[in-house]
């Protein structure tokens, strides 16, 4: 049921233009500078004040409640389109022109740098130093990313930052497996017969526009969505007009022989726990239940202050999900005799549709719940006075819009874990080469994970 989106002539003209994606990248780069500027100098040591300030400071509001959630929503539905216009890609590619152009080593290529980078941001950046609540720390975090993209461009070849370093590379790559969109060649035969192969020509890797693929992809061999950032450079170069953007059934990539690297499995461990925390912490009862064990451990260890967040995060984002994965993978391996990594891949892929769906839900909840802050964010861009007024009760938010939308969101919240599980079940039942018991265990893992959300959403709704 693939539909060629390039039948829409203006869409094709847009992607084929020499200025795509350069002009959108320049625009996002300018936005990036303004967002950093709006966060610098706005800080607090009072963590309760920071909980309000995060929504009243214009830059912080945009970055964490709109920019970041929109990236997630787009990745799940339409693939890595954020990467297409990301200013870091522009910066690292420009640096690559004058840099050393070294080949990345084995460790970089393993994908573990991306997983560890994301894990560090989550555990230390967000859950210890609250970069999502204190605007100045958010700005420092963004400048650090910017600095690393420059450094990577100066040292390594092509867009090594995007392919092997970017902390959200795995996240967007894995979610793009779920998407309705894919970038593929129209005809394999045309590529085989193509003499020039401009799309991968070495001499064009460092062109400002009409660059050959710097994600190390040969378009004819793209089997799934993970690595392609939809930059359309290969389309601009292809003399046969052999590339296209297609609408497809979601999860199409799951029906190919999809293999995950150990680093990607590690990444799914972290993000599966993170999404559970994000959704369950929307309701007080669920949050208290989820945190009961981590709080007991921090009390036993006598840990206080900001480091309680670190311990909580280690338990919730590493230990719990790792145990979940190991238990179900061990069961699968025991009955099948397959390699343990293959069992882990099957279980990790089984939870991915639910995980992506629930992350999308969290993104929707966040963007809608923050609508009332917009009334004040442009008048007081730093957000200090607005936060003070909200805390001392002289200012009240108008919650009319979120309250109107909330019943629809509740419906979506109840449906999404069911849809996620349904999609997983569809893929699992389609694996005819696997024995019934292997499929049953994989299905049980998906059911357990989606059931956790379903039960917690019903509890949250009822209480
Ligand atoms: S994508 Fe275009 S340029 Fe690349 S090999 Fe195929 S036909 Fe040739
Ligand atoms: S395959 Fe084409 S669209 Fe995908 S990353 Fe490479 S150049 Fe960009």
CB distance 213 to ligand 2 below 6 Å? yes
State pLDDT tens for residues 423-445: 999 999 988 889 999 999 999 99
Interval between CA 83 and ligand 2 midpoint (Å): 11
Q: Return the ligand 2 atom nearest residue 230 CA.
A: 3
Say if residue 1's pLDDT is above 90.
no
**Residue 256 has what pLDDT?**
84
Interval between CA 217 and ligand 1 midpoint (Å): 12
- What average pLDDT does the segment 129-156 reach? 98
Q: Return the ligand 2 atom nearest residue 219 CA.
A: 1
User: Ligand 2 atom 8: the closest Cα is on which residue?
Assistant: 231
Say if residue 177's pLDDT is above 80.
yes
**Residue 186 has what pLDDT?**
96
Averaged confidence pLDDT in the chain: 96
**Residue 181 has what pLDDT?**
96
State pLDDT tens for residues 45-78: 999 999 999 999 999 999 999 999 999 999 999 9
Which ligand neighbours the alpha carbon of 200 most closely?
1
- What average pLDDT does the segment 235-264 reach? 94
- Probe residue for ligand 1, chosen from 15, 186, 221, 234 as the CB with the greatest number of ligand atoms within 8 Å: 234
**Residue 54 has what pLDDT?**
97
User: Between helices 436-462 and 320-336, what is the axis angle to 10°?
Assistant: 150
Interval between CA 289 and ligand 2 midpoint (Å): 45
**Residue 257 has what pLDDT?**
85
Which ligand neighbours the alpha carbon of 213 most closely?
2
**Residue 16 has what pLDDT?**
94
- What average pLDDT does the segment 344-359 reach? 97
CB-CB neighbours of 125 under 10 Å: 19
How many Cα atoms sit within 13 Å of 111 on the Cβ side?
Answer: 17
**Residue 462 has what pLDDT?**
80
Which ligand neighbours the alpha carbon of 217 most closely?
2
Question: What does pTM read for this prediction?
Answer: 0.95
Which ligand neighbours the alpha carbon of 191 most closely?
1
Q: What percent of the chain has pLDDT over 70?
A: 100
User: Ligand 2 atom 7: the closest Cα is on which residue?
Assistant: 213
**Residue 432 has what pLDDT?**
86
Predicted confidence band of residue 463 (pLDDT cuts 50, 70, 90): confident
Residue in 128, 75, 49 with CA at minimum distance from that of residue 385? 49
Predicted confidence band of residue 5 (pLDDT cuts 50, 70, 90): very high
**Residue 459 has what pLDDT?**
87
Interval between CA 179 and ligand 1 midpoint (Å): 24
**Residue 460 has what pLDDT?**
84
- What average pLDDT does the segment 185-194 reach? 96
**Residue 175 has what pLDDT?**
97
Interval between CA 245 and ligand 1 midpoint (Å): 15
Tell me how many degrees the CA angle 167-146-67 measures, rounded to the nearest 5.
65
Interval between CA 193 and ligand 1 midpoint (Å): 9
CB distance 219 to ligand 2 below 6 Å? yes
Q: Return the ligand 2 atom nearest residue 231 CA.
A: 8
SS (H, E, C) the chain: CCEEHHHCHHHHHHHHCCCCCHHHHHHHHHHHHHHHHHHCCCCCCCHHHHHHHHHHCHHHHHHHHHHHHHHHHHHHHHCCHHHHHCHHHHHHHHHHHHCCCECCCHHHHHCHHHHHHHHHHHHHHHCCCCCCCCHHHHHHHHHHHHHHHHHHHHHECCCHHHHHHCCCHHHHHHHHHHCCEEEEECCHHHHHHCCCCHHHCHHHCCCCCCCCCCCCCCHHHCCCCCCCCCCCHHHHHCCCCCEEEEECCCCHHHHCCCCCCHHHHHHHHHHHHHHHHHHHCCCHHHHHHHHHHHHHHHHHHCCCCCHHHHHHHHHHHHHHHHHHHHHHHHHHHHHHCCCHHHHHHHHHHHHHHHHHHHHHHHHHHHHHHCHHHHHHHCCCCCCHHHHHHHHHCCCCCCCHHHHHHHHHHHHHHHHHHHHHHHHHHHHHHCCCCCCHHHHHHHHHHHHHHHHHHHHHHHHHHHC
CB distance 183 to ligand 2 below 6 Å? yes
Tokens 């909980």 found at: 51
- Probe residue for ligand 1, chosen from 213, 240, 244 as the CB with the greatest number of ligand atoms within 8 Å: 240
Say if residue 148's pLDDT is above 80.
yes
Pocket lining for ligand 1, CB < 6 angstroms? 185, 190-191, 194, 197-199, 219-220, 234, 238, 240, 242-243
Say if residue 138's pLDDT is above 90.
yes
CB distance 79 to ligand 2 below 6 Å? no
Predicted confidence band of residue 348 (pLDDT cuts 50, 70, 90): very high
The CA distances from residue 314 to 114, 251, 294, 309, 396, in Å, are: 18, 30, 9, 9, 36
Judge contact between 180 and 248, C-beta under 8 A. Answer: yes
- What average pLDDT does the segment 103-110 reach? 97
Which ligand neighbours the alpha carbon of 195 most closely?
1
Which ligand neighbours the alpha carbon of 210 most closely?
2
User: Ligand 1 atom 7: the closest Cα is on which residue?
Assistant: 191
State pLDDT tens for residues 277-330: 999 999 999 999 999 999 999 999 999 999 999 999 999 999 999 999 999 999
């Amino acid at each position: 049921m693939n539909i060629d989106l390039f039948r829409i002539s203006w869409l094709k003209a847009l992607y084929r233009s020499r200025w795509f994606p350069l002009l959108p990248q320049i625009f996002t780069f300018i936005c990036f500078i303004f967002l950093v500027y709006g966060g610098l100098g706005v800080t607090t040591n009072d963590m309760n004040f920071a909980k309000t300030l995060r929504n009243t400071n214009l830059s912080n509001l945009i970055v964490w409640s709109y920019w970041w959630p929109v990236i997630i929503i787009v990745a799940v539905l339409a693939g890595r389109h954020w990467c297409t216009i990301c200013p870091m890609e522009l910066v690292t590619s420009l640096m690559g022109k004058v840099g050393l152009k070294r080949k990345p080593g084995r460790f970089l290529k393993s994908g573990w740098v991306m997983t560890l980078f994301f894990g560090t941001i989550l555990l230390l950046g967000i859950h210890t130093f609250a970069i999502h609540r204190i605007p100045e720390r958010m700005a420092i975090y963004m400048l650090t990313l910017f600095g690393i993209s420059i450094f990577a461009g100066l040292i390594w070849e092509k867009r090594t930052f995007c392919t092997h370093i970017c902390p959200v590379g795995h996240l967007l790559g894995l979610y793009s497996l779920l998407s309705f969109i894919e970038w593929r060649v129209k005809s394999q035969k045309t590529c085989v017969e193509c003499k020039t192969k401009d799309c991968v020509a070495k001499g064009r890797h460092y062109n400002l526009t009409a660059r050959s693929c710097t994600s190390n992809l040969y378009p004819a061999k793209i089997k799934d969505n993970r690595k392609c950032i939809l930059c359309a450079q290969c389309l601009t170069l292809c003399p046969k007009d052999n590339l296209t953007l297609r609408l497809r059934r979601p999860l199409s990539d799951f029906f190919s022989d999809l293999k995950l690297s150990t680093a990607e499995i590690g990444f799914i461990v972290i993000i599966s726990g993170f999404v559970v925390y994000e959704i369950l912490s929307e309701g007080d009862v669920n949050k208290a239940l989820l945190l009961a064990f981590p709080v007991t451990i921090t009390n036993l260890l006598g840990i206080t202050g900001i480091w309680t967040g670190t311990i909580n995060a280690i338990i919730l984002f590493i230990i719990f999900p790792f145990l979940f994965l190991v238990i179900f993978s061990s069961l699968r391996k025991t009955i099948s005799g397959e390699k343990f990594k293959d069992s882990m891949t099957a279980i990790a892929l089984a939870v991915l549709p639910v995980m992506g769906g629930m992350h999308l839900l969290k993104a929707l909840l966040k963007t809608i719940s923050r609508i009332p802050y917009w009334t004040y964010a442009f008048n007081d861009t730093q957000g200090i006075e607005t936060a003070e007024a909200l805390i001392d009760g002289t200012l009240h938010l108008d919650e009319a819009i979120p309250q109107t939308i909330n019943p629809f969101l509740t419906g979506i919240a109840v449906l999404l874990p069911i849809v996620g599980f349904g999609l997983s079940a569809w893929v699992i039942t389609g694996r005819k080469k696997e024995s019934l018991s292997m499929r049953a265990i994989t299905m049980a893992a998906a059911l357990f994970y989606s059931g956790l959300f379903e039960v917690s959403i019903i509890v949250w709704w009822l209480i």
